[in-house]
């Protein structure tokens, strides 16, 4: 019985790790779309959009650096997810800070 439970836990962990890999790319794409939408709607100034874009590039480069050794660990995935969480909060705050394009 204990062995069955351990196998079930391992399968669950493996499947969640695989799901997280796809979600990183989806989140990056979604955040880039949010930045572009903010520029088009006037919610973001060009300076804000450039700053947010640089953060996106930093996160992407960090992900590439982590993957460069061929082993993208769970800790590295968690760091990228935290960076994406931080980027998402910044996008939201910049889009809702009442600044308008001139």
At 32-88, the pLDDT tens digits run: 999 999 999 999 999 999 999 999 999 999 999 999 999 999 999 999 999 999 999
- For residue 28, give the nearest of 96, 91, 99 by alpha carbon: 91
- For residue 63, give the nearest of 82, 49, 50 by alpha carbon: 82
Report d(CA 15, CA 12) in Å as an integer.
5
Question: What's the pTM?
Answer: 0.74
Q: pLDDT category, 7, cuts 50, 70, 90?
A: low
Q: Is the pLDDT of residue 27 over 80?
A: yes
């Amino acid at each position: 019985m204990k062995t069955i439970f351990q196998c079930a836990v391992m399968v669950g962990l493996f499947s969640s790790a695989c799901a997280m890999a796809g979600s990183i790319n989806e989140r990056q794409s979604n955040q880039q779309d949010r930045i572009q939408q903010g520029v088009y709607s006037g919610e973001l100034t060009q300076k804000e959009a450039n700053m947010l874009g640089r953060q996106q590039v930093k996160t992407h480069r960090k992900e590439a650096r982590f993957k460069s050794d061929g082993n993208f660990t769970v800790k590295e995935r968690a760091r990228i997810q935290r960076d994406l969480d931080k980027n998402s909060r910044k996008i939201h705050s910049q889009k809702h800070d009442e600044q308008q394009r001139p």
